Structure 1
């Protein structure tokens, strides 16, 4: 028993609770119609409180209170679902020639933070790295090499495996990316996987314009006209993420190997093909996230104090110079790509990190 009149105003309606179950369904936790109002003691000196309680009982008897609470429930704005690491499917595109260099570096560093969620898509069988990744190396049987057909073939495999996984988020990275796993989870937790999201970062300063020979002319049936279109695309070298809702819309267009056919038709690599499908065909805009980084950017411009805020990093060796993050740590001869040093700055508890 409790004295209703002594409760704070915000708690006087606490005889019932409305709890969200999903984004669209709610349940009234207490059956108001069967609530025994005689169990509530009334302060006789507080006539206002007694009147309120009488009104509460009356509204309960005729169903008005239940209706009012239900209306509040169905019009409330649900909180976005919480994203956890296991909700994310992380795919890394690689090739046989990079297993002993790029793949080995990833396995020793950030892969250890997401071993169950990360899958490597390659073009050959490799028993050694199959064991190192605990069975997370997938031979796509795509051609080796860095050309349009091979790239789209692997991306198609990545997309199809994700669709079959049931995960909420599909995040693609290249084998020269360092992924800050906790920051990735935090980023995706800001968005709902049930909404169409295309998250990434372009490597160009304006939308890509292309011409498509796509439709017959009205005067000559055997000739086609050129259609000029423009769209943004997230560069694969920085990584990008797609929500489950968006990929389900892609399924009839690009699933089951159709991604390869689209790439062949527009004659562009995998990341451009992805942008074409999402921005042009599905009309879903790219949400630019500056925290993704590719080797096309000067890595030294990323300040060390902002490292924990970044989602991905990269590296490149061009014109006899390394494009790498500027971070203290291991000797340049031992860590030219700076991934070990970066990893130890973010996660110093790893056994190979020097004492601080």
Structure 2
């Protein structure tokens, strides 16, 4: 790495954020990520720009003999980001299925009060008072609320998922048992084929010097997990509403901003988890005999075409997302499952 990189990394978090100037593709990139695109390109500037590189994405392969069973279900904090728009469509599916596997560990972060859902979740619905839109500000507002609430719970792992996810909770726990929660772990799944590229200006004495940064991020639609050891180190950068400030000044959505904080500001790499999946992948390619080994699933609908996991079960008219069928496939003892 060039001599310029250490100087950049030594800047305080606040100075780095103030220096961020996304000159290329942010709007285009955000559109691709949230509409299912997986590639992007950009025009290189004509001037010579020093490159600030990070280590590539790491993939951790751990043998079963290396697993340390240092956590239980009670050590998990699982947050689900949702909104008023989906309170009677996406949310009831979660409440009927995988919420039942970890009622005390799962919390919903929304933007509306719903007494019925408060009762069904035993008070686990948090009205963040963020806006109901799918804007960067609203997404980041909720993610910041999730992070702050996690810090109050004294749990060992913070795992975020979206309301179009199904989470195999027992499998999530077994996967997290591979990692030491006291160490720095940022776990997730990428949704783009190349690291995101952006530019920023340094503060004095080289205020006019552009630097190029590259970083990976875990897509929120597949789920991300952060160890408590790493979450505590984020306090000066992300706590008390600071996370939303990072998003606003960098103009990145919530999951991208998390990757920016981790990989650029804190120099902690994303560890790719092959067991995490989002609707940005073709769900039908997941083999039925491997479903028990996966952690998260997604679904989406493009016009009349559903991108869903291929699993036997209920009629598609009753279960178009296939999450009810998936739940019964994994946990057939539930009362609503066919006998």
| TM category, shorter | 0.7 to 0.9
The answer as to 2:132 corresponding to 1:144 is yes
2:223 to 231, 239, 244: 239
SS in 2 for 1:183: helix
Given that 1:234 and 1:275 are in contact with CA atoms closer than 8 Å, whether structure 2 keeps it comes out as: yes
Structure 2 runs not aligned, ≥5 long? 1-65
CA shift for structure 1 position 132: 1.0
Aligned mates of 2:320, 2:201 — CA distance in 1: 45
2:167 to 179, 193, 201: 179
| Aligned residue runs from structure 1 range 110-259, under 5 A | 110-216=98-204, 218=206, 224-259=208-243
Task: Show CA shifts across 1:60-113 (max 9, x none).
Answer: xxxxxxxxxxxxxxxxxx994611111000000000110101111100000000
What residue is the counterpart of 2:312 in the other structure?
328
SS in 2 for 1:178: strand
Given that 1:212 and 1:266 are in contact with CA atoms closer than 8 Å, whether structure 2 keeps it comes out as: no
SS in 1 for 2:291: helix
Aligned mates of 2:140, 2:201 — CA distance in 1: 20
**Over the residues paired in the alignment, what is the CA RMSD in angstroms?**
1.4
Given that 1:178 and 1:339 are in contact with CA atoms closer than 8 Å, whether structure 2 keeps it comes out as: yes
What's the TM-score once normalised by structure 1's chain length?
A: 0.75
Given that 2:67 and 2:177 are in contact with CA atoms closer than 8 Å, whether structure 1 keeps it comes out as: no
What residue is the counterpart of 2:272 in the other structure?
288
Aligned mates of 2:145, 2:224 — CA distance in 1: 16
Aligned mates of 1:217, 1:224 — CA distance in 2: 9
Aligned mates of 2:100, 2:217 — CA distance in 1: 30
Aligned mates of 1:143, 1:263 — CA distance in 2: 15
CA shift for structure 1 position 319: 3.2
SS in 1 for 2:203: strand
CA shift for structure 1 position 212: 2.3
CA shift for structure 1 position 334: 0.3
Given that 1:120 and 1:136 are in contact with CA atoms closer than 8 Å, whether structure 2 keeps it comes out as: yes
270-279 or 202-211, which moves further after superposition? 202-211
Aligned residues: 274
CA shift for structure 1 position 205: 1.4
Given that 1:217 and 1:225 are in contact with CA atoms closer than 8 Å, whether structure 2 keeps it comes out as: no
1:306 to 265, 287, 290: 290
What residue is the counterpart of 1:263 in the other structure?
247
Taking CA–CA contacts closer than 8 Å with sequence separation of 6 or more, which of the two structures ends up with the larger relative contact order?
2
CA shift for structure 1 position 224: 4.8
Aligned mates of 2:200, 2:129 — CA distance in 1: 29
CA shift for structure 1 position 347: 0.2
Aligned mates of 1:217, 1:320 — CA distance in 2: 56
What residue is the counterpart of 2:47 in the other structure?
none
SS in 1 for 2:193: coil
Aligned mates of 2:149, 2:191 — CA distance in 1: 27
Structure 1 runs not aligned, ≥5 long? 1-77
